[in-house]
Copies of this chain bind each other. A is one copy, B any other.
Amino acid sequence: MFNIAIAQSGGPTAAINASLSGVFSRSAISPEIDEIYGAENGIEGILNDRLVNLRNILTDEHDKELLINTPSTVLGSCRFKLKDASADDSDYKKILDTFNRHNIKAFFYIGGNDSMDTVLKLDKYFREKGVDIRVIGVPKTIDNDLPETDHTPGFGSAAKYVATSLQEIIRDSRVYSIPSITIVEIMGRDAGWLAASSCVLRANGEPAPHLIYLPEGEFSPEKYLKDIENVMKRYKAVLVAVSEGIRFPGSYYDDTVDAFGHTQNAGIGKILENYTKEHFPYKVRSIELNVMQRCSSHIASLTDLNEARRIGEAAVDALIKDNKSGVMMIFKRISNNPYRVEIVDTPVENAANKEKKFPSEWITDEGNNVTIDALNYFLPLIQGEPVIEYRNGIPVHFRLNQ
């Protein structure tokens, strides 16, 4: 018997605790596994030996149910980049110390592109040193930009929130008799999946969003003005869905660079609002969906939550049954109708530090919308609603500590 550790990393999602629940519950019934440790704040918790014993915490069936419907990461998160071991292996030694101290033989890391970099480096280090500790990545990101997997846990819930909110915003924007343009800025620094997913409203006959702009397309300010002019001929209230990452010539970019070298370019909605106002006499406003799009578990996709849990369980199976390490679990879509996926694994180097862009063939020739193939891809991911428990009229969250 041996112990395992689980950690969560990167930006929060509505489904990342469902994956934690999946890893925990499958581990808890595996005879090979003794203690199940959760690391606080991702790999930082391993580095600093801040572990909690999840068997002692997740004892109550009701708490386990609440955990699945609680947004964000109950164990905390981090943005921490491991240096190359060849340059400086001090952190690797600290991590190994923690693992050895607690007889931890397997580490499950739930995260996105950057977290998979940690999985890759740790696995490589342990293999080179002949250390028998296995490392498995469980994907999550609302950006849906991880390679190899059909989609990522967390994305479906974010897409369902975005679609639901955009439909409410278009109802709101149509009330006055004057023409109006509403620009909604949607998360996705380099990949436009989430903004593109707003096309699902079309499945219910809703023409909004009338225009969709993604970082994968060429954004031309002149063409944008023509697009607006064209849709304003047909609609009184126009809704524009724009990915935060589109390149607007001369736009304001914050120079802040995070530990992974990403720039933080916020505010494209406001920029586009001002630009539109300069050229049209219409009422123009912009809305930023902000962090609500990644943490709105009250309108999560049941498909997403179930899959997030299942991929966590499958990660434990990959360890126990197949003795895997250095892999990331992935979804393979078997069919669209009925929707079916299977969960397999892929070498983590296929996903670490790489991004999967929205396919250019799913962007319309006009560059201002997406195709029916995109709609068919997105639709299954937002299906179903979890049963939310309310107390005093407010959803109940599971809280590890205040």
Contact = CB atoms under 8 A, between A and B. Distances in A.
Interface of A: 12, 40-41, 44, 70-73, 76-79, 160, 163-165, 167-169, 171-177, 200-201, 203-204, 207, 235, 287-288, 290-292, 294-299, 301, 379, 382-385, 388, 390-397, 402
A296 B167 CA distance: 10
Given A204-B396, A383-B393, 6 more contacts: A41-B175, A72-B174, A163-B394, A235-B402, A287-B290, A287-B292
Nearest to A45: B177
Contact of A392 (B172, B295, B379): B379
Nearest to A77: B175
Given A163-B394, A204-B392, A287-B291, A297 B168 contact: yes
How many copies are assembled?
2
Nearest to A385: B390
Contacts of A164: 298, 394-395
A295 B171 contact: yes
Nearest to A12: B172
A380 B21 CA distance: 33
B169 A295 contact: yes
B298 A299 contact: yes
10 contacts: A12-B172, A78-B176, A79-B176, A163-B394, A165-B292, A169-B292, A171-B397, A207-B402, A298-B299, A384-B393
Given A172-B295, A295-B169, A379 B397 contact: no
Contacts of A175: 12, 41, 72-73, 76-77
A392 B296 CA distance: 19
Q: Which 10 pairs from chain A and chain B are nearest by CB? A: A382-B393, A72-B171, A77-B175, A172-B295, A203-B392, A168-B295, A383-B393, A41-B177, A287-B290, A72-B172
Contact of A391 (B160, B204, B287, B402): B204
B394 A167 contact: yes
Contacts of A73: 175
Contacts of A177: 40-41, 44, 76, 78
Nearest to A70: B171
Nearest to A298: B164
Contacts of A41: 175-177
Contact of A298 (B79, B168, B391): B168
B291 A172 contact: yes
Contacts of A78: 176-177
A394 B200 contact: yes
B301 A299 contact: no
Contact of A200 (B77, B165, B201, B392): B392
A137 to B, nearest CB: 19
A291 B12 CA distance: 24
B291 A176 contact: no
A387 to B, nearest CB: 11
B392 A71 contact: no
A6 B392 CA distance: 34
Contacts of A76: 174-177
Contacts of A204: 391-392, 394, 396
A393 B200 contact: yes
